[in-house]
Structure formats: C-alpha cells, structure tokens
Amino acid sequence: ARLADGDVAFFERLLPGRVVTGEEEVKPFNVDWLKSVRGCSQLVLKPQTTAEVSQVLRYCHEKNLAVNPQGGNTGLVGGSVPVFDEIILSTALMNQIVSFDRVSGILVCQAGCVLERLGEYLEEQGFIMPLDLGAKGSCHIGGNVATNAGGLRLLRYGSLRGTVLGLEVVLADGSALDCLTSLRKDNTGYDLKQLFIGSEGTLGVITAVSILCPQKPKALNVAFLGCQSFAKVLETFTTCRAMLGEILSAYEFMDGKCMELVQTHLKLSSPVADSPFYVLIETSGSNSTHDEEKLSNFLERAMASGLVTDGTVATDDKKIKARHLRERITEALTHEGYVYKYDISLPVGRLYDLVTDMRARLGQSAKNVVGYGHLGDGNLHLNITAESYSHSLLDAIEPFVYEWTARCSGSISAEHGLGFKKRQFIQYSKPREAVLLMQQFKAMLDPKGILNPYKTLPSA
C-alpha cells in the first residue's frame, strides 16, 4: 500500500517527536554509504523499545505497508536503504546496554548500539567485542547480526553465528519473539536465532542481542610486512599459523595498488618499503614477553627464508596507523569514482587469481582492479573502479565474477550479504532446493512480504 496522511498521524501519536518526514531530513536515510543506490521513502520512524517496534510492525502488517529496517546504514550491497517508498524503521535510538556479566562475559544490549561504543564500554570492564569492522564507528550491532558481519577478528573468535547466544526479534505481524537467552548451552529444539542471523531484515527486525565477549588481551602486537608475490603471502601465512598458533588473531593482506590509493587519497604512509603485496598480522595473548618472543622468532624465520622482504613490528602509536592502512581501503576507493565491489569467499590458494584474471579481462576499460581481505578465512574483497558508472563495464564483470567463483566452489558473498545487488545471483552459491526452502521460510514468517522487500532472495 501507499503511505497515507492517516498513517503518518498514527505514527506521530505512537512515536511523538521521533517521526521524520521532511524531504531533506529523510534524504540521508534513503542513500546508502557508497552513494550507489537511492530509495524514495517519505517516512523514517525511530522507536526506542521492542514494544514500539511491535506496534509499528503490527500496524504496517494490517495496512500492508512495506518496511525497511535500518541500522547504521553502512552496508555495501544495497540492503539497508529502500528500493521504492518503504517506511524506514531506524534502530538509532535503541542504543541501551541492558546488562553485562563480568564472570561469563555475556553482553545483552539493544540492536541500535554502535559497535565502537560497545567496544569502549567493554574495554572498561576488561573485555572486547568478538568482531571488529572498519565501519565500527557507525554500524549497529543489530545490523551486524542481521548481515552476519565478519571483519578482522573472525580468524580468532569465529563468526557471529557462534558468538551470538540469543536474540529478541519482532516478526512481520508485530509479534515479539523472545529468544534472548544468556546461556552458552541450550539444546532445546531448533536454534531459531540462526534464522535471523544473516537474514538481512527480511524475516524479522532484531531488537536486542545477547553476545559472548572475550576478555581483553593483555598483550597486543601488530606486524606489517612486505611480500614480493602472492605465493609468498600464502607461504608466510602457513609459517605464521604454525609458529604463532594460539596468539594469531588476524592475518590480512592487500596488494600494492591498495596501498597506493590509501597513500594518494588519505595521505597515509606505509611503514615498510614499496612492495607488490602487504600483510598485516595481529597477535593477542596474555603474556607480552611470550608473545613478543614468538613474533620475533617468526619474523626472523620469514626474513631469513625470503618470504618477507621488509617488515616492522608496531609500537602502540604505530599499531593504530598500521590498522588504519587496512581498515581505510574502502574509504580510499570511494575517491576513485564509481566502485564495483565484490566480497567473495574462495579456497585460500586461489584467492588472488580472480584479481589477476579480472585485470586481464577488463584491460583499460577499468581504472583500477584491486584485491585485499581476510586471508586467514579465505575472504577476498575485489574492487573495480571507474570514473563513473558504466553498464557495459558491469556487463563485462557480471556474471563472469560469479561464474568464476562458482567454478572454484566459492561463495559470492563472504560477509557483506546479498542485499539488493546480489539477490538474483544466489544460485551461484546455493542449490535450487536451498533457495526454495529459504523462500518458504520467508513466506511463512512474512506472508505479505512487507519486511525489506526486493532484498536477499531472488524474485519467486
């Protein structure tokens, strides 16, 4: 249905002072972070409680009004903004920490809590969040869970599917599902929370999260290395994993072109000499002397065997700088013009082959083709830049990039989700029977199709 004056009046009575209607005021909520897709919603709602979300969805279900749940709007696949005129349900004011247990490390909070704020709160308690993203200053934990965000700490602490213990979710008809358990072990029936983790707001609106948080490491070290080839990057990873073992918390790589863009657009400098590839290694443990000794032994081995041509172990100030080089690549790419972004999971040995093949395929039609990502868990971020959007360039990229990935038994979305941009390509990663079952879940939980329509699943 289309939004009517009576609908707006109802929401203004329900959420006094928390209804946004002005064209300019609504505009930021309609545009994604990449400025690549734009909806035309006329209404943003900002509930503060699960009860309010429930009332909003009950009304929308009755009136057949489509709803776009939105957290920090940092998504990269067009999943967080409307396609047409869907009502935007923002979790921005649902930002309260409910509880934290210092014995178990279990945090319970509302979905709109910003990831970085949660991290700061936990650090005061001697703990950390199990995930860390470049967008942590803006993204919401509810959005992280809804998209099953990965990030820099997945190698050490695993995915949100393992660290999220419970969820509170409001379904399309307004009924609230309270599965907000704080138990590590609960083997009673189906694990319903897994349906909503990674569902991108298409099955329900996550309103609160219970998440297991690890203790803050007493010792944190960062090494930034230069490698002459991707084969050396892989060998370094094998050696690194064998020698650092339990203290290895991140293994990231970026190619030389990424470094060039970060230096040019963001004026950041590299702590090591120019190199075709760079590796960022992070260790975290409980004994600084022990960890530094292990890292030093690893670096000596890597340098002596020719795996690494240059490297530095970061001090406290440089740790932030070295992490920035990796975390801000996405930002640097936006200065290049239009960016075609691909987030792919592949067998680690084939990770960079796709970048090489894509460069050969596109030639001069693309401005840059770069690769970086979480090598420790086989996640490549392939980015192709051009002065402006070109349909012919897109046709040269897709579906080639998905066919290539499928041939390697990879995933077309490692951590960003499918959203609007990738939903019609799901068959490259999932069999027809699996997609059909997903569509049946959607039809059961959202029979009117009002929750984040046109996202995640292909047209039936």
User: Which CATH number characterizes residue 282's domain?
Assistant: 3.30.70.2190
**What are the Cα distances from residue 280, in Å, to 217, 325, 351?**
18, 9, 16
Rounded to whole angstroms, the Cα distance separating 315 from 293 reads 15
The pTM of this model reads: 0.93
**What are the Cα distances from residue 188, in Å, to 130, 163, 179, 185?**
25, 18, 12, 9
Does 107 lie in the same domain as 53?
no
Does 135 lie in the same domain as 201?
yes
Per-residue confidence (pLDDT) for residue 315, from 0 to 100: 62
Rounded to whole angstroms, the Cα distance separating 119 from 441 reads 34
Q: 255, 253, 231, 235: which is closest to 359 by C-alpha?
A: 255
Query: In this structure, is residue 105 part of a structural domain?
Result: yes
Does 108 lie in the same domain as 32?
no
Q: Is the pLDDT of residue 105 over 80?
A: yes
- Cβ neighbours around 427 below 10 Å, total: 14
Per-residue confidence (pLDDT) for residue 304, from 0 to 100: 94
Q: Which of 39, 73, 90 is the last residue of a domain?
A: 90
Q: Is the pLDDT of residue 369 over 80?
A: yes
Assign residue 353 a region: left if phi > 0, alpha if psi is -120 to 50, beta otherwise? alpha
Query: In this structure, is residue 49 part of a structural domain?
Result: yes
- Cβ neighbours around 449 below 10 Å, total: 15
Does 54 lie in the same domain as 17?
yes
Q: Which of 169, 191, 212 is the last residue of a domain?
A: 212
Q: Is the pLDDT of residue 433 over 70?
A: yes
Q: 202, 198, 250: which is closest to 225 by C-alpha?
A: 250
Tell me, rounded to whole angstroms, the distance of Cα 456 from its chain centroid. 15
Mean pLDDT value across residues 294-308: 93
Does 75 lie in the same domain as 110?
no
The pair of structure tokens assigned to 112 is 């709109």
Beta-strand relationship, 87-90 and 44-45 = parallel
How many domains, the chain?
3
Does 271 lie in the same domain as 204?
no
Per-residue confidence (pLDDT) for residue 316, from 0 to 100: 65
Query: In this structure, is residue 352 part of a structural domain?
Result: no
Q: Which of 177, 212, 247 is the last residue of a domain?
A: 212
pLDDT tens for residues 181-233? 999 999 999 999 999 999 999 999 999 999 999 999 998 899 999 999 999 99
CATH number of residue 19's parent domain: 3.30.43.10
**What are the Cα distances from residue 220, in Å, to 29, 125, 245, 246, 379?**
37, 17, 15, 13, 23
State the residue for tokens 């190698």: 155
Q: What is the mean pLDDT of the chain?
A: 94
Query: In this structure, is residue 291 part of a structural domain?
Result: yes
CATH number of residue 200's parent domain: 3.30.465.10
Does 205 lie in the same domain as 250?
no
For the chain, the farthest-separated pair of C-alpha atoms sits apart, in whole angstroms, at: 74
Q: Is the pLDDT of residue 163 over 70?
A: yes
Beta-strand relationship, 248-255 and 205-212 = unpaired
Domain span including residue 21: 5-90
Sheet of 164-170: strands edge to edge?
A: 97-101, 106-110, 205-212, 164-170, 176-179
- Report for 46-50, 133-137, 372-376: range of highest mean pLDDT: 46-50
- End-to-end Cα distance, the chain: 20
Per-residue confidence (pLDDT) for residue 317, from 0 to 100: 61
For 317, counting Cβ atoms within 10 Å of its Cβ (0-12 exposed, 13-18 middle, 19+ buried), the class is exposed
Rounded to whole angstroms, the Cα distance separating 41 from 234 reads 46
Does 112 lie in the same domain as 84?
no
Does 118 lie in the same domain as 67?
no
Rounded to whole angstroms, the Cα distance separating 175 from 53 reads 10
Does 244 lie in the same domain as 202?
no
Per-residue confidence (pLDDT) for residue 415, from 0 to 100: 92
Per-residue confidence (pLDDT) for residue 320, from 0 to 100: 62
Per-residue HEC secondary structure of the chain comes to CCCCHHHHHHHHHHCCCCEECCHHHHHHHHECCCCCCECCCCCEECCCCHHHHHHHHHHHHHHCCCEEEECCCCCCCCCCCCCCCCEEEECCCCCCEEEEECCCCEEEEECCCEHHHHHHHHHHHCECCCCCCCCCCCCEHHHHHHCCCCCCCHHHHCCHHHHEEEEEEECCCCCEEEECCCCCCCCCCCCCHHHHCCCCCCCCEEEEEEEECCECCCEEEEEEEEECCHHHHHHHHHHHHHHHHHHEEEEEEEEHHHHHHHHHHHCCCCCCCCCCEEEEEEEEECCHHHHHHHHHHHHHHHHHCCCCCEEEECCHHHHHHHHHHHHCHHHHHHHHCEEEEEEEECCHHHCCHHHHHHHHHHHHHCCEEEEEEEHHHCEEEEEEEECCCCHHHHHHHCCHHHHHHHHCCCECECCCCCCCCCHHHHHHCCCHHHHHHHHHHHHHHCCCCCECCCCCCCCC
The letter for the amino acid at 363 is G
Rounded to whole angstroms, the Cα distance separating 77 from 37 reads 9
pLDDT tens for residues 305-339? 999 998 888 766 666 667 778 778 888 998 999 99
Rounded to whole angstroms, the Cα distance separating 7 from 1 reads 11
pLDDT tens for residues 45-74? 999 999 999 999 999 999 999 999 999 999
Backbone phi and psi for residue 228, each to the nearest 5 degrees, phi listed first: -85, -15
Per-residue confidence (pLDDT) for residue 268, from 0 to 100: 83
Contact in structure between 172 and 448 (CB atoms under 8 Å):
yes
Query: In this structure, is residue 382 part of a structural domain?
Result: no
Does 283 lie in the same domain as 198?
no
Q: Is the pLDDT of residue 454 over 90?
A: yes
Does 116 lie in the same domain as 48?
no
Query: In this structure, is residue 170 part of a structural domain?
Result: yes
Q: Is the pLDDT of residue 460 over 80?
A: no
Rounded to whole angstroms, the Cα distance separating 269 from 439 reads 48
The pair of structure tokens assigned to 17 is 């002072």
Query: In this structure, is residue 383 part of a structural domain?
Result: no
Mean pLDDT value across residues 157-177: 96
At residue 349 the predicted structure's pLDDT band, cuts being 50, 70 and 90, is very high
Question: Based on C-alpha coordinates, what's the Rg of the chain?
Answer: 22
